[in-house]
Amino acid sequence: MSKAFDNLRLYAGVVKRVGYTLTLGMLHSGFRDELLKLYNSCSGQEPSGDDTPMDPFVIPKTDVFELFGNDAAAYEGVYECGFGHTTEFELKVISNLVKKWNPRRIFEIGTFQGRTTLNMALNSGSDTEIVTLDLPAGELASTKMDIEDGEVRYVKKEVSGERFIGHPAASKIRQVFGDSASFSFDEYKDSVDVAFIDGSHAYEYVLNDSEKVFPIMRKGGLIIWHDYTNWPGVWTALNELYEHDSRFRGLRHIGGTSIAILTL
């Protein structure tokens, strides 16, 4: 009953948002961006393989880091984002967080093309190890729990980690494969300073992945979640953890992004 109510609330929220986006929202660039994303996703373009941004805006970009001069990070492929990636600004935020935390080991759940993996490698020390876990396409049908239909395309990419394979920074990156629900994290116990959770966005998986990274984190470590504002499974799980599990009371959402963080 409460699930049906939740779905109804979600549906009503979507109708309200679409209505606003198509009317008053046209006056705001953020909502125009949403329309552009919707247009791109419905225009028959298959994102896999070609991530050329469909951006009709000619005005040069800037952001708060550039304006206020406190962007300490280095980037590659920051503007080459499309489906399944962090946004440009989110990548800068993650890169700056990594730089600030100066981690000895990073653990990422969900490699995809490895754009964030590469940038985390570029912004950490020469002896940092970045472990990135990805679900092989061949294991799609045998995951322990159901992943969302909308993310199958990210599992079925041609190459996992193509953005860093062959790059000099790849020597710091260790690729591991498996389903995060059955993967053994034991080897990494108490050794991770930054974890990036961006695998399956299904509610059960977000709960699973959030639980699985806890024992591998060092004290003072940082957990980063992506897509808090974009996927119902992510926000439902994180809201629930924040409200009902005292270990997650320190969760914070970074404004202007879909990133949530927790410092341990």
Helix (H/G/I), strand (E/B), else coil: 128: coil
Residue showing the smallest CB distance to ligand SAM in the complex: 110
When the beta carbons of 2 and 187 are compared against ligand SAM, the nearer one is 187
C-alpha triplet 227, 60, 162: angle, nearest 5°:
45
Query: Stretches 8-16, 49-57, 61-69, 132-140: which one binds ligand SAM (CB under 6 A)?
Result: 132-140
Minimum separation from the CB atom of position 28 to ligand SAM (A): 26
Amino acid letter, 236? T
Contact of 225 with 205, CB cutoff 8 Å = no
**Which residues contact residue 97 at a Cβ distance below 8 angstroms, ignoring those fewer than 6 apart?**
194, 222, 224, 261
If binding is defined by CB under 6 A, does position 180 make contact with ligand SAM?
yes
If binding is defined by CB under 6 A, does position 235 make contact with ligand SAM?
no
If binding is defined by CB under 6 A, does position 86 make contact with ligand SAM?
yes
Enter the tokens of residue 54: 């469909």
- The Cα 249–Cα 209 span in angstroms is 17
Among 115, 167, 172, 212, binds ligand SAM (CB under 6 A): 115
Among 120, 179, 233, 261, binds ligand SAM (CB under 6 A): 179
Among 89, 188, 205, 231, binds ligand SAM (CB under 6 A): 205
120 CB neighbour count, 10 Å cutoff = 30
If binding is defined by CB under 6 A, does position 212 make contact with ligand SAM?
no
If binding is defined by CB under 6 A, does position 121 make contact with ligand SAM?
no
Buried-exposed string 195-209: b where 16+ CB fall within 10 A, e elsewhere? bbbbbbbbbebbbbb
162 CB neighbour count, 10 Å cutoff = 17
When the beta carbons of 19 and 215 are compared against ligand SAM, the nearer one is 215
User: How many residues of this chain bind ligand SAM (CB under 6 A)?
Assistant: 24
Minimum separation from the CB atom of position 104 to ligand SAM (A): 20
If binding is defined by CB under 6 A, does position 110 make contact with ligand SAM?
yes
If binding is defined by CB under 6 A, does position 193 make contact with ligand SAM?
no
**Which residues contact residue 262 at a Cβ distance below 8 angstroms, ignoring those fewer than 6 apart?**
222, 223, 248, 250, 251, 252
Which residues here bind ligand SAM, judged by CB under 6 A?
84-86, 109-112, 115-116, 133-135, 143, 147, 151, 154-155, 179-181, 198-200, 205
